[in-house]
Amino acid sequence: MKISKSKTKMGSIDFILFSTIMLLVAIGVVMVYSASSYMAFFDKSIQDSMFFLKRQGLWAVIGTVLMFFTIKFDYRIIKKYTKLLMIISVILLLAVFAFESTKGAQRWIRVGSIGFQPSEIAKYIVVLYMAKSIEVKGGRKIGTLLYGVIPYLLVSGFYAGLVFAEKNLSIAAVIMIVTMIVLYVSGARITHMIGVVGLVALAGIAGIIFEPYRMARFTSFLNPWADPKDSGYQLIQSLLALGSGGIWGVGLGRSRQKCYYIPEPHNDFIFSIIGEELGLIGCTVIVILFIVIVWRGVVVAVKARDTYGTLLATGITSVIAVQAIINIAVVTGSMPVTGVPLPFISYGGSSLVINMVAMGVLLNISRQSEYG
Protein backbone atom coordinates (compact mmCIF):
# COMPACT_ATOMS: atom_id res chain seq x y z
CA MET A 1 0.00 0.00 0.00
CA LYS A 2 1.40 3.36 -0.96
CA ILE A 3 1.70 6.11 1.58
CA SER A 4 0.41 9.51 0.58
CA LYS A 5 2.80 12.40 0.21
CA SER A 6 1.34 14.19 3.23
CA LYS A 7 2.06 11.19 5.42
CA THR A 8 5.71 11.01 4.38
CA LYS A 9 6.24 14.58 5.52
CA MET A 10 8.43 14.81 8.58
CA GLY A 11 7.95 17.12 11.54
CA SER A 12 10.44 18.31 14.13
CA ILE A 13 12.45 15.93 16.29
CA ASP A 14 11.85 15.38 20.00
CA PHE A 15 14.00 18.27 21.22
CA ILE A 16 14.08 17.09 24.84
CA LEU A 17 15.40 13.69 23.75
CA PHE A 18 17.94 15.24 21.39
CA SER A 19 19.20 17.69 24.03
CA THR A 20 19.54 14.93 26.62
CA ILE A 21 21.56 12.74 24.26
CA MET A 22 23.95 15.55 23.37
CA LEU A 23 24.34 16.54 27.02
CA LEU A 24 25.25 12.97 27.98
CA VAL A 25 27.76 12.77 25.12
CA ALA A 26 29.34 16.08 26.20
CA ILE A 27 29.55 14.92 29.81
CA GLY A 28 31.04 11.66 28.61
CA VAL A 29 33.83 13.35 26.64
CA VAL A 30 34.73 15.56 29.62
CA MET A 31 34.66 12.67 32.09
CA VAL A 32 36.70 10.38 29.83
CA TYR A 33 39.40 13.05 29.82
CA SER A 34 39.19 13.55 33.56
CA ALA A 35 39.23 9.82 34.32
CA SER A 36 42.01 8.89 31.86
CA SER A 37 44.42 11.87 31.93
CA TYR A 38 46.57 10.63 34.82
CA MET A 39 46.91 7.09 33.51
CA ALA A 40 47.53 8.23 29.92
CA PHE A 41 50.25 10.69 30.99
CA PHE A 42 52.21 8.13 33.02
CA ASP A 43 51.72 5.23 30.60
CA LYS A 44 55.07 4.83 28.84
CA SER A 45 53.39 3.68 25.62
CA ILE A 46 51.20 6.82 25.48
CA GLN A 47 52.64 9.70 27.56
CA ASP A 48 49.85 12.04 26.46
CA SER A 49 47.25 13.09 29.03
CA MET A 50 44.84 14.02 26.20
CA PHE A 51 45.18 10.74 24.30
CA PHE A 52 41.78 9.31 25.23
CA LEU A 53 40.13 12.75 25.04
CA LYS A 54 41.23 13.13 21.41
CA ARG A 55 39.96 9.69 20.45
CA GLN A 56 36.65 9.98 22.30
CA GLY A 57 36.13 13.49 20.94
CA LEU A 58 36.70 12.22 17.40
CA TRP A 59 34.23 9.35 17.88
CA ALA A 60 31.71 11.79 19.36
CA VAL A 61 31.95 13.97 16.24
CA ILE A 62 31.61 10.94 13.93
CA GLY A 63 28.67 9.67 15.98
CA THR A 64 26.96 13.06 15.85
CA VAL A 65 27.33 13.25 12.06
CA LEU A 66 25.91 9.74 11.63
CA MET A 67 23.10 10.51 14.07
CA PHE A 68 22.06 13.53 12.00
CA PHE A 69 22.19 11.33 8.91
CA THR A 70 19.85 8.74 10.41
CA ILE A 71 17.54 11.52 11.63
CA LYS A 72 17.05 12.59 8.02
CA PHE A 73 15.97 9.37 6.31
CA ASP A 74 12.76 7.42 6.88
CA TYR A 75 13.31 4.71 9.52
CA ARG A 76 11.14 2.26 7.56
CA ILE A 77 13.83 2.02 4.88
CA ILE A 78 15.81 -0.11 7.33
CA LYS A 79 13.24 -2.91 6.93
CA LYS A 80 14.51 -3.60 3.41
CA TYR A 81 18.02 -4.27 4.67
CA THR A 82 17.26 -6.19 7.86
CA LYS A 83 18.22 -9.62 6.51
CA LEU A 84 21.44 -8.26 5.03
CA LEU A 85 22.33 -6.56 8.31
CA MET A 86 21.63 -9.79 10.20
CA ILE A 87 24.00 -11.74 7.95
CA ILE A 88 26.71 -9.09 8.21
CA SER A 89 26.34 -9.07 11.99
CA VAL A 90 26.82 -12.86 12.19
CA ILE A 91 29.91 -12.66 9.98
CA LEU A 92 31.38 -9.95 12.19
CA LEU A 93 30.59 -11.87 15.38
CA LEU A 94 32.42 -14.89 13.96
CA ALA A 95 35.30 -12.77 12.62
CA VAL A 96 36.43 -11.82 16.13
CA PHE A 97 37.81 -15.33 16.61
CA ALA A 98 40.40 -14.63 13.92
CA PHE A 99 41.97 -11.96 16.13
CA GLU A 100 44.04 -12.25 19.28
CA SER A 101 42.19 -12.31 22.57
CA THR A 102 42.27 -9.39 24.99
CA LYS A 103 42.35 -10.33 28.68
CA GLY A 104 41.06 -13.80 27.83
CA ALA A 105 38.11 -12.57 25.76
CA GLN A 106 37.72 -12.35 21.98
CA ARG A 107 35.39 -9.41 21.45
CA TRP A 108 37.29 -7.17 19.08
CA ILE A 109 38.09 -6.83 15.40
CA ARG A 110 41.26 -4.78 15.22
CA VAL A 111 42.72 -2.98 12.22
CA GLY A 112 45.87 -1.19 13.31
CA SER A 113 45.06 1.01 16.29
CA ILE A 114 41.32 0.95 15.57
CA GLY A 115 39.16 -1.63 17.32
CA PHE A 116 35.55 -2.56 16.67
CA GLN A 117 33.22 -4.62 18.88
CA PRO A 118 30.55 -6.45 16.78
CA SER A 119 28.43 -7.22 19.83
CA GLU A 120 27.51 -3.51 19.94
CA ILE A 121 25.75 -3.97 16.60
CA ALA A 122 24.24 -7.37 17.45
CA LYS A 123 22.01 -6.03 20.24
CA TYR A 124 20.38 -3.58 17.82
CA ILE A 125 20.18 -6.10 14.97
CA VAL A 126 17.98 -8.29 17.18
CA VAL A 127 15.69 -5.29 17.75
CA LEU A 128 15.47 -4.60 14.00
CA TYR A 129 14.60 -8.23 13.29
CA MET A 130 11.94 -8.43 15.98
CA ALA A 131 10.28 -5.15 14.99
CA LYS A 132 9.99 -6.20 11.36
CA SER A 133 8.90 -9.79 12.01
CA ILE A 134 6.34 -8.98 14.71
CA GLU A 135 4.73 -6.33 12.52
CA VAL A 136 4.29 -8.92 9.77
CA LYS A 137 2.95 -11.61 12.11
CA GLY A 138 0.46 -9.41 13.90
CA GLY A 139 -0.69 -9.47 17.51
CA ARG A 140 -2.54 -12.79 17.62
CA LYS A 141 0.43 -15.03 16.87
CA ILE A 142 2.61 -13.22 19.41
CA GLY A 143 0.18 -14.40 22.08
CA THR A 144 1.08 -18.01 21.33
CA LEU A 145 4.15 -19.80 22.68
CA LEU A 146 5.00 -21.85 19.58
CA TYR A 147 4.67 -19.13 16.92
CA GLY A 148 4.93 -15.95 18.97
CA VAL A 149 7.64 -16.47 21.58
CA ILE A 150 9.89 -19.44 20.78
CA PRO A 151 11.01 -18.26 17.27
CA TYR A 152 12.25 -14.95 18.69
CA LEU A 153 13.96 -16.65 21.60
CA LEU A 154 15.78 -18.92 19.16
CA VAL A 155 16.98 -16.05 16.97
CA SER A 156 17.93 -13.85 19.91
CA GLY A 157 19.48 -16.84 21.65
CA PHE A 158 21.59 -17.52 18.57
CA TYR A 159 23.02 -13.99 18.61
CA ALA A 160 23.39 -14.04 22.38
CA GLY A 161 25.17 -17.40 22.07
CA LEU A 162 27.71 -16.00 19.62
CA VAL A 163 28.33 -13.05 21.96
CA PHE A 164 28.58 -15.43 24.92
CA ALA A 165 31.19 -17.47 23.02
CA GLU A 166 33.30 -14.31 22.92
CA LYS A 167 33.18 -14.43 26.75
CA ASN A 168 30.84 -11.47 26.89
CA LEU A 169 28.05 -12.68 29.17
CA SER A 170 26.93 -9.15 30.01
CA ILE A 171 26.01 -8.12 26.44
CA ALA A 172 24.49 -11.56 25.84
CA ALA A 173 22.27 -10.92 28.86
CA VAL A 174 21.36 -7.47 27.51
CA ILE A 175 20.22 -9.05 24.23
CA MET A 176 17.96 -11.53 26.00
CA ILE A 177 16.51 -8.96 28.42
CA VAL A 178 15.70 -6.57 25.57
CA THR A 179 14.12 -9.47 23.66
CA MET A 180 11.78 -10.15 26.57
CA ILE A 181 10.85 -6.47 26.87
CA VAL A 182 9.96 -6.25 23.17
CA LEU A 183 7.96 -9.49 23.36
CA TYR A 184 6.02 -8.21 26.36
CA VAL A 185 5.23 -4.91 24.65
CA SER A 186 4.15 -6.87 21.55
CA GLY A 187 1.50 -8.71 23.53
CA ALA A 188 3.18 -11.92 24.71
CA ARG A 189 1.37 -13.62 27.58
CA ILE A 190 2.58 -13.12 31.15
CA THR A 191 2.63 -16.88 31.75
CA HIS A 192 4.90 -17.37 28.76
CA MET A 193 7.15 -14.52 29.90
CA ILE A 194 7.53 -16.01 33.37
CA GLY A 195 8.71 -19.25 31.80
CA VAL A 196 11.13 -17.34 29.57
CA VAL A 197 12.55 -15.40 32.52
CA GLY A 198 13.10 -18.68 34.34
CA LEU A 199 14.99 -20.19 31.39
CA VAL A 200 17.15 -17.08 30.90
CA ALA A 201 17.91 -17.01 34.63
CA LEU A 202 18.96 -20.68 34.56
CA ALA A 203 21.17 -20.03 31.53
CA GLY A 204 22.76 -17.08 33.32
CA ILE A 205 23.39 -19.13 36.46
CA ALA A 206 24.95 -21.90 34.37
CA GLY A 207 27.16 -19.32 32.64
CA ILE A 208 28.40 -18.16 36.03
CA ILE A 209 28.92 -21.59 37.59
CA PHE A 210 30.87 -23.12 34.71
CA GLU A 211 33.32 -20.19 34.37
CA PRO A 212 35.64 -19.86 37.40
CA TYR A 213 36.31 -16.13 36.85
CA ARG A 214 32.58 -15.38 36.69
CA MET A 215 31.99 -17.40 39.86
CA ALA A 216 34.76 -15.44 41.56
CA ARG A 217 33.11 -12.19 40.51
CA PHE A 218 29.77 -13.34 41.85
CA THR A 219 31.12 -14.38 45.23
CA SER A 220 33.17 -11.17 45.48
CA PHE A 221 30.01 -9.17 44.83
CA LEU A 222 28.43 -10.76 47.88
CA ASN A 223 31.44 -9.90 50.04
CA PRO A 224 34.22 -8.02 48.19
CA TRP A 225 36.24 -7.62 51.39
CA ALA A 226 36.72 -11.39 51.57
CA ASP A 227 39.35 -11.05 48.81
CA PRO A 228 40.26 -7.32 48.73
CA LYS A 229 43.45 -7.79 46.68
CA ASP A 230 42.00 -9.88 43.87
CA SER A 231 38.36 -10.59 42.98
CA GLY A 232 36.94 -7.92 45.29
CA TYR A 233 39.52 -5.25 44.50
CA GLN A 234 37.73 -3.39 41.70
CA LEU A 235 34.41 -3.14 43.54
CA ILE A 236 36.08 -1.98 46.76
CA GLN A 237 37.92 0.78 44.90
CA SER A 238 34.68 1.79 43.21
CA LEU A 239 32.88 2.05 46.55
CA LEU A 240 35.79 4.04 47.99
CA ALA A 241 35.53 6.47 45.07
CA LEU A 242 31.79 6.92 45.53
CA GLY A 243 32.16 7.32 49.30
CA SER A 244 34.99 9.83 48.96
CA GLY A 245 32.88 12.04 46.72
CA GLY A 246 30.19 12.65 49.31
CA ILE A 247 27.40 14.97 48.26
CA TRP A 248 29.33 17.59 46.29
CA GLY A 249 32.41 15.66 45.16
CA VAL A 250 36.11 16.44 45.47
CA GLY A 251 36.07 18.52 42.28
CA LEU A 252 36.40 17.85 38.56
CA GLY A 253 39.80 16.33 37.75
CA ARG A 254 40.72 15.70 41.40
CA SER A 255 39.89 12.01 41.70
CA ARG A 256 42.41 9.91 43.59
CA GLN A 257 40.99 6.52 42.64
CA LYS A 258 41.77 7.12 38.96
CA CYS A 259 45.48 7.14 39.86
CA TYR A 260 45.97 3.43 39.22
CA TYR A 261 43.56 2.31 41.95
CA ILE A 262 40.58 1.62 39.67
CA PRO A 263 41.83 -0.27 36.57
CA GLU A 264 40.97 1.65 33.36
CA PRO A 265 38.70 4.14 35.15
CA HIS A 266 37.55 5.69 31.86
CA ASN A 267 35.77 2.48 30.82
CA ASP A 268 33.12 0.51 32.69
CA PHE A 269 33.76 2.17 36.08
CA ILE A 270 33.62 5.78 34.92
CA PHE A 271 30.48 6.29 37.03
CA SER A 272 32.69 5.80 40.10
CA ILE A 273 34.90 8.69 39.01
CA ILE A 274 31.81 10.82 38.40
CA GLY A 275 30.70 10.01 41.94
CA GLU A 276 34.09 10.89 43.39
CA GLU A 277 34.61 14.13 41.47
CA LEU A 278 31.04 15.39 41.18
CA GLY A 279 29.52 13.66 44.20
CA LEU A 280 25.98 12.49 44.76
CA ILE A 281 24.73 15.55 42.89
CA GLY A 282 26.65 14.57 39.74
CA CYS A 283 25.50 10.95 39.94
CA THR A 284 21.90 12.06 40.41
CA VAL A 285 22.11 14.29 37.35
CA ILE A 286 23.37 11.36 35.25
CA VAL A 287 20.59 9.08 36.50
CA ILE A 288 17.97 11.77 35.78
CA LEU A 289 19.29 12.20 32.23
CA PHE A 290 18.91 8.47 31.57
CA ILE A 291 15.41 8.56 33.06
CA VAL A 292 14.58 11.39 30.64
CA ILE A 293 15.82 9.27 27.70
CA VAL A 294 13.63 6.37 28.81
CA TRP A 295 10.65 8.69 29.29
CA ARG A 296 11.00 10.30 25.88
CA GLY A 297 11.70 6.91 24.28
CA VAL A 298 8.43 5.57 25.69
CA VAL A 299 6.60 8.66 24.41
CA VAL A 300 8.07 8.15 20.95
CA ALA A 301 7.08 4.46 21.00
CA VAL A 302 3.50 5.25 22.06
CA LYS A 303 3.08 7.94 19.41
CA ALA A 304 4.80 6.06 16.57
CA ARG A 305 2.76 5.88 13.37
CA ASP A 306 3.03 2.11 12.96
CA THR A 307 3.76 -1.10 14.84
CA TYR A 308 7.26 -1.26 13.39
CA GLY A 309 8.07 2.20 14.73
CA THR A 310 6.61 1.37 18.15
CA LEU A 311 8.65 -1.82 18.54
CA LEU A 312 11.80 -0.25 17.12
CA ALA A 313 11.56 2.67 19.56
CA THR A 314 10.85 0.26 22.41
CA GLY A 315 13.86 -1.90 21.59
CA ILE A 316 16.28 0.99 21.12
CA THR A 317 15.19 2.63 24.36
CA SER A 318 15.42 -0.71 26.19
CA VAL A 319 19.02 -1.30 25.06
CA ILE A 320 20.11 2.04 26.53
CA ALA A 321 18.03 1.64 29.70
CA VAL A 322 19.16 -1.92 30.44
CA GLN A 323 22.84 -1.08 29.92
CA ALA A 324 22.63 2.02 32.11
CA ILE A 325 20.88 0.09 34.89
CA ILE A 326 23.41 -2.76 34.80
CA ASN A 327 26.44 -0.44 34.72
CA ILE A 328 25.26 1.70 37.64
CA ALA A 329 24.21 -1.40 39.61
CA VAL A 330 27.67 -2.94 39.14
CA VAL A 331 29.53 0.23 40.13
CA THR A 332 27.44 0.65 43.28
CA GLY A 333 27.82 -2.99 44.31
CA SER A 334 24.18 -3.88 43.64
CA MET A 335 25.05 -6.78 41.30
CA PRO A 336 28.12 -8.82 40.31
CA VAL A 337 30.90 -7.06 38.42
CA THR A 338 30.40 -7.35 34.67
CA GLY A 339 31.67 -5.47 31.64
CA VAL A 340 28.81 -3.28 30.45
CA PRO A 341 29.78 0.28 29.44
CA LEU A 342 27.70 3.27 30.53
CA PRO A 343 26.01 4.46 27.29
CA PHE A 344 27.34 7.75 25.85
CA ILE A 345 29.77 8.19 28.76
CA SER A 346 32.19 5.24 28.98
CA TYR A 347 35.19 5.34 26.66
CA GLY A 348 34.75 3.35 23.45
CA GLY A 349 34.31 4.33 19.83
CA SER A 350 32.14 1.45 18.59
CA SER A 351 29.77 1.73 21.55
CA LEU A 352 29.40 5.51 21.28
CA VAL A 353 28.96 5.67 17.50
CA ILE A 354 26.48 2.79 17.27
CA ASN A 355 24.43 4.11 20.20
CA MET A 356 24.25 7.53 18.54
CA VAL A 357 23.18 5.99 15.22
CA ALA A 358 20.42 4.16 17.10
CA MET A 359 19.40 7.43 18.75
CA GLY A 360 19.19 8.99 15.28
CA VAL A 361 16.70 6.29 14.29
CA LEU A 362 14.70 6.95 17.48
CA LEU A 363 14.65 10.68 16.74
CA ASN A 364 13.54 9.95 13.18
CA ILE A 365 10.59 7.98 14.53
CA SER A 366 9.74 10.98 16.71
CA ARG A 367 9.72 13.23 13.62
CA GLN A 368 6.95 11.21 12.00
CA SER A 369 4.76 10.39 15.00
CA GLU A 370 2.45 13.41 14.64
CA TYR A 371 1.56 12.33 11.10
CA GLY A 372 0.56 8.75 12.05
pLDDT at 370 over 60: no
Supply the pLDDT for residue 89: 95
Q: Do 264 and 234 share a structural domain?
A: yes
- Residue 166: band (very low, low, confident or very high) from pLDDT cuts 50, 70, 90: confident
Using alpha carbons, select from 165, 196, 204 the residue that is nearest to residue 179: 196
Q: Do 368 and 304 share a structural domain?
A: yes
Q: Do 243 and 347 share a structural domain?
A: yes
Which segment of 162-166, 206-210, 288-292, 305-309 scores lowest on mean pLDDT? 206-210
Residue at which a domain ends, from 157, 182, 210: 210
pTM of the model: 0.91
Q: Is residue 353 part of a domain?
A: yes
Q: Do 202 and 64 share a structural domain?
A: no
The domain of 181 spans 81-210
Q: Is residue 317 part of a domain?
A: yes
Q: Is residue 126 part of a domain?
A: yes
Which segment of 104-113, 125-134, 253-262, 337-346 scores lowest on mean pLDDT? 104-113
Q: Do 112 and 42 share a structural domain?
A: no
Supply the pLDDT for residue 30: 97
Supply the pLDDT for residue 6: 39
Q: d(Cα 27, Cα 358) in Å, to the nearest integer?
A: 19
Give 4's DSSP letter.
P
Q: Write out the DSSP string of 258-276.
A: TTTTSSSTTTTTHHHHHHH
Supply the pLDDT for residue 213: 66
- Evaluate whether 253 touches 277 at the Cβ level (below 8 Å): yes
- Residue 2: band (very low, low, confident or very high) from pLDDT cuts 50, 70, 90: very low
Residue at which a domain ends, from 162, 179, 210: 210
Q: 276 CB contacts (<8 Å, ≥6 apart)?
A: 241, 242, 244, 245, 249, 250, 255, 256, 257, 258
Over 283-313, what HEC string results? HHHHHHHHHHHHHHHHHHHHHCCCHHHHHHH
Q: Do 370 and 255 share a structural domain?
A: yes
Average of pLDDT values for 169-187? Answer: 90
109: which strand partners? 116
Supply the pLDDT for residue 352: 96
- Evaluate whether 304 touches 65 at the Cβ level (below 8 Å): no
pLDDT at 155 over 80: yes
Reported as a single tens digit per residue, the pLDDT across 19-78 is 999 999 999 999 999 999 999 999 888 889 999 999 999 999 999 999 999 999 899 999
pLDDT at 200 over 80: no
Q: Is residue 65 part of a domain?
A: yes
Q: d(Cα 372, Cα 370) in Å, to the nearest integer?
A: 6
Q: Is residue 2 part of a domain?
A: no
Q: Do 65 and 107 share a structural domain?
A: no
Which segment of 53-62, 94-103, 269-278, 344-353 scores lowest on mean pLDDT? 94-103
- Evaluate whether 246 touches 279 at the Cβ level (below 8 Å): yes
Q: Do 56 and 88 share a structural domain?
A: no
Q: Is residue 167 part of a domain?
A: yes
* H helix runs in 82-138, sequence order: 82-95, 119-137
- Residue 140: band (very low, low, confident or very high) from pLDDT cuts 50, 70, 90: low
Element (H, E) at 166: none
Mean pLDDT over the full length of the chain:
88
Supply the pLDDT for residue 226: 78
Residue at which a domain ends, from 175, 210, 245: 210
Query: 230 versus 23: which is more confidently predicted?
Result: 23
Q: Do 256 and 204 share a structural domain?
A: no
Q: Do 256 and 140 share a structural domain?
A: no
Supply the pLDDT for residue 27: 97
Domain count, the chain: 2
Average of pLDDT values for 296-313? Answer: 95
Using alpha carbons, select from 55, 66, 63 the residue that is nearest to residue 267: 55
Q: Is residue 125 part of a domain?
A: yes
Give, in order, the Cα–Cα distances in Å from 119 to each of 95, 115, 116, 166, 178. 11, 12, 9, 9, 14
Angle at 86 between CA 202 and CA 359, to 5 degrees: 85
Q: Is residue 107 part of a domain?
A: yes
111: which strand partners? 114
Residue type, 56: Q
Q: Do 93 and 41 share a structural domain?
A: no
Q: Do 243 and 202 share a structural domain?
A: no
Q: d(Cα 72, Cα 360) in Å, to the nearest integer?
A: 8
